Amino acid sequence: MSSIHSRATARLALSPAVILLLAWMAIPLAMTLWYSFHDYQLLIPRGNEFVGWENYAYFLTDPAFLHALVNTLALVGGVLLITVAAGIGLALLLDQPIYGRGIVRVLVVSPFFVMPTVSALVWKNMFMNPVNGLLAWLAQLLGMPAIDWLAQAPLLSLVIIVAWGWLPFATLILLTALQSLDAEQKEAAQMDGAGALARFRHITLPHLARPTAVVILIQTIFLLSIFAEILVTTNGGPGTQSTNLAFLVYSQALLRFDVGSASAGGAVAVVLANILALLLMRLVGRNLDA
Amino acid sequence: MAGIALRNVSKAFGMQHVIPCIDLDIGDGELVVFVGPSGCGKSTLLRLIAGLEDATSGQVLIDGRDVTQLAPAQRGLSMVFQSYALYPHMSVRDNIAFPLRMMGMERATVERKVADAARVLNLQDYLDRKPRELSGGQRQRVAIGRAIVREPVAFLFDEPLSNLDAALRVSMRMEIARLHQQFGTTMIYVTHDQTEAMTLADRIVVLNHGRVEQVGTPLQLYRHPASRFVAGFIGSPRMNLIEGPEAARHGAATVGIRPENLVLSDHSGRWQGRVSLAEHLGSDTYVHVDVEGVGALTARAAGDFDVRHGGRVWLTPDEASLHRFDGEGRCVTASEVDHVR
Amino acid sequence: MAGRHGRNKLVFTALAWVLALLVFFPLLWTLLTSFKTEGEAVAIPPKFLFFDWTLENYAEVWERTDYLRHLRNSIIISLGSTLIGLAVAIPAAWAMAFSPTRSTRTVLLWMLSTRMLPAVGVLVPVYLLFKQAGLLDSRSGLVLILMLTNLPIMVWMLYTYFREIPREILEAARMDGATPLRELAYVLAPMALPGIASTLLLNVILAWNESFWTLNLTAASTGPLTAFIASFSAPEGLFYARLSAASMLAIAPIVVLGWLSQKQLVRGLTFGAVK
Ligand SMILES: Nc1ncnc2c1ncn2[C@@H]1O[C@H](COP(=O)(O)OP(=O)(O)OP(=O)(O)O)[C@@H](O)[C@H]1O
Ligand SMILES: [Mg+2]
Domains and CATH numbers, chain A: 63-289 (1.10.3720.10)
Q: Once rounded to an integer, what is the mean pLDDT over residues B112-140? A: 90
**Which pLDDT does position B341 carry in this prediction?**
46
Facing residue for C119 by CB, picked from A115, A225, A277: A225
Nearest-neighbour CA in chain C from B96: distance (Å): 10
Partners of residue C244 on adjacent β-strands = none
Distance (angstroms) between ligand 1 centre and the Cα of C97 equals 19
The pair phi, psi for residue B235, each rounded to 5°, is: 105, 140
Taking only the tens place, the pLDDT of each residue in B318-337 is 988 899 999 888 888 766 65
The pair phi, psi for residue B60, each rounded to 5°, is: -110, 125
- State whether residue C131 sits within 8 Å of chain A by CB: no
Max CA distance (Å), chain C: 74
* B193-to-A180, A197, B35, B259 alpha-carbon distances in Å: 35, 47, 7, 19
Side chain identity, residue A103: I
* C208-to-A116, A221, B153, B235, C202 alpha-carbon distances in Å: 10, 18, 56, 68, 10
Which of B40, B188, B207 to probe ligand 1 with, by most ligand atoms within 8 A of CB? B40
The alpha carbon torsion through A94, A96, A100, A106 (nearest 10 deg) reads: 20
* A170-to-A46, A174, B66, B280 alpha-carbon distances in Å: 49, 6, 58, 60
Long-range contacts of A38-44 (CB under 8 A, 24+ apart): A38/A260, A39/A260, A40/A259, A40/A260, A40/A263, A41/A257, A41/A258, A41/A259, A41/A260, A42/A257, A42/A258, A42/A259, A43/A257
A–B interface: beta-carbon pairs under 8 A: 7
- State whether residue B340 sits within 8 Å of chain C by CB: no
Domain positions in chain C: 64-269
DSSP codes of every residue in A49-83: -B-TTHHHHHHHHSHHHHHHHHHHHHHHHHHHHHH
Nearest-neighbour CA in chain B from C183: distance (Å): 10
Separation CA C144–CA C150 (nearest Å): 10
Burial class (CB in 10 A: 0-12, 13-18, 19+), B268: exposed
pLDDT at B110 over 70: yes
Contacts of B53 in chain A (CB under 8 A): 1-2
* B7-to-B55, B59, B123, B153 alpha-carbon distances in Å: 11, 5, 39, 19
Burial class (CB in 10 A: 0-12, 13-18, 19+), A144: exposed
Separation CA A161–CA B149 (nearest Å): 63
- In the DSSP assignment, the letter for residue B227 is B
Separation CA B103–CA A148 (nearest Å): 74
> Is the previous residue joined to C100 through a cis bond, with omega within 30 degrees of 0?
no
Among the listed residues A128, A214, A204, A203, the one whose alpha carbon sits nearest the alpha carbon of residue A164: A128
Q: Once rounded to an integer, what is the mean pLDDT over residues B223-228? A: 92
Separation CA A290–CA B19 (nearest Å): 29
Domains along chain B with CATH numbers: 4-76+152-228 (3.40.50.300), 237-340 (2.40.50.140)
pLDDT at A3 over 60: no
Question: Cβ contact (<8 Å) for C176 and B50?
Answer: no
B168: CB partners within 8 A, 6+ apart: B136, B137, B161
Range among A26-30, A43-47, B218-222, C192-196 rated most confident: B218-222
Distance (angstroms) between ligand 2 centre and the Cα of C88 equals 35
The residue nearest atom 2 of ligand 1, judged by CA position, is B13
Q: Once rounded to an integer, what is the mean pLDDT over residues A184-211? A: 75
Secondary structure class of B310 (helix, strand, coil): coil
Of the listed ranges A70-74, B145-149, C60-64, C201-205, the one predicted with least confidence:
C60-64
Question: Cβ contact (<8 Å) for B53 and A1?
Answer: yes
The CATH architecture one would assign to domain C64-269 is Orthogonal Bundle (1.10)
**Which pLDDT does position A287 carry in this prediction?**
56
The residue nearest atom 22 of ligand 1, judged by CA position, is B43
Separation CA B256–CA B271 (nearest Å): 15
More confident residue, C237 or B290: B290
Contacts of B150 in chain C (CB under 8 A): 176-177
Taking only the tens place, the pLDDT of each residue in A226-280 is 998 998 888 887 888 889 888 988 888 777 778 888 888 888 888 888 888 778 7
Separation CA B341–CA B248 (nearest Å): 12
DSSP codes of every residue in A205-242: HHHHHHHHHHHHHHHHHHHTT--HHHHHTTTT-STTTT
| Contact by Cβ (8 Å): B113, B146 | no
Among the listed residues B150, B324, B303, the one whose alpha carbon sits nearest the alpha carbon of residue B252: B324
Of the listed ranges A181-190, B26-35, B228-237, the one predicted with least confidence:
A181-190
More confident residue, C229 or A6: C229
Report the side by side order of strands in the sheet with B331-332.
B240-243, B254-257, B323-325, B331-332
Q: Interior CA angle at C83 toward C79 and C87, to 5°?
A: 170
Helices (H), chain C: 2-33, 38-41, 56-64, 67-98, 104-116, 119-133, 139-163, 167-175, 180-182, 189-209, 213-216, 225-230, 240-260, 262-269
Closest-CA residue in chain B for A4? B54
Report the side by side order of strands in the sheet with B57-62.
B16-26, B4-13, B57-62, B65-66
Secondary structure class of B240 (helix, strand, coil): strand
* A100-to-A151, A172, B180 alpha-carbon distances in Å: 40, 16, 57
Secondary structure class of C170 (helix, strand, coil): helix
The residue count for chain B: 341
Question: Cβ contact (<8 Å) for C16 and A96?
Answer: yes
B323: CB partners within 8 A, 6+ apart: B225, B231, B239, B255, B256, B257, B331
**Which pLDDT does position A222 carry in this prediction?**
86
**Which pLDDT does position B1 carry in this prediction?**
54
Among the listed residues C36, A273, C128, C179, the one whose alpha carbon sits nearest the alpha carbon of residue B99: C179
Q: Interior CA angle at B238 toward B236 and B241, to 5°?
A: 160
Facing residue for B103 by CB, picked from C168, C177, C191: C177
SS (H, E, C) B63-128: CCEECCCCCHHHHCEEEECCCCCCCCCCCHHHHHHHHHHHHCCCHHHHHHHHHHHHHHCCCHHHCC
**Which pLDDT does position A136 carry in this prediction?**
85
Q: Once rounded to an integer, what is the mean pLDDT over residues A42-63? A: 78
Cβ atoms within 10 Å of B179's Cβ, excluding its own: 19
C164: CB partners within 8 A, 6+ apart: none
Pocket of ligand 1 (CB under 6 A): B 13, 16, 18, 36, 38-44, 192
Question: Cβ contact (<8 Å) for C91 and A14?
Answer: yes
SS (H, E, C) B263-297: EEECCCCCEEEEEEEEEECCCEEEEEEEECCCEEE
Distance (angstroms) between ligand 1 centre and the Cα of C228 equals 59
Partners of residue B57 on adjacent β-strands = B10
Distance (angstroms) between ligand 2 centre and the Cα of B17 equals 16
**Which pLDDT does position A143 carry in this prediction?**
86
Max CA distance (Å), chain A: 79
Report the side by side order of strands in the sheet with B31-35.
B77-80, B154-158, B186-190, B31-35, B203-208, B211-216
Helices and strands of chain A, counted as H and E runs: 14, 0
pLDDT in tens, chain C (275 residues): 445 667 888 888 999 999 999 999 999 999 999 998 888 887 777 878 888 888 888 988 888 888 899 999 999 999 999 999 999 999 899 888 888 888 888 888 888 878 877 788 788 888 888 888 888 888 889 999 999 999 998 998 888 888 888 888 988 988 888 887 788 788 888 888 888 988 898 899 999 999 888 888 887 677 888 888 888 776 555 688 888 999 999 999 999 998 888 777 776 666 555 55
Closest-CA residue in chain B for C190? B89
Task: Say what the ipTM of the complex is.
Answer: 0.87
Closest-CA residue in chain B for A2? B53
The residue nearest atom 14 of ligand 1, judged by CA position, is B41
pLDDT at B233 over 80: yes
- Label residue B218 by pLDDT band (50, 70, 90): very high
pLDDT at B217 over 90: yes
Partners of residue B271 on adjacent β-strands = B315
Among the listed residues C160, C143, C16, the one whose alpha carbon sits nearest the alpha carbon of residue C84: C143
Distance (angstroms) between ligand 1 centre and the Cα of B18 equals 7
Give pTM, 2 decimals: 0.78
A50: CB partners within 8 A, 6+ apart: A37, A38
Cβ atoms within 10 Å of A184's Cβ, excluding its own: 8
Interface test with C, best of B44, B80, B81, B149 (most C CBs within 10 A): B81
Contacts of B48 in chain A (CB under 8 A): none
Handedness of CA B18, B21, B26, B32 (dihedral sign): negative
Taking only the tens place, the pLDDT of each residue in A88-128 is 999 999 988 889 888 998 999 999 999 999 999 999 988 88
Secondary structure class of B14 (helix, strand, coil): coil
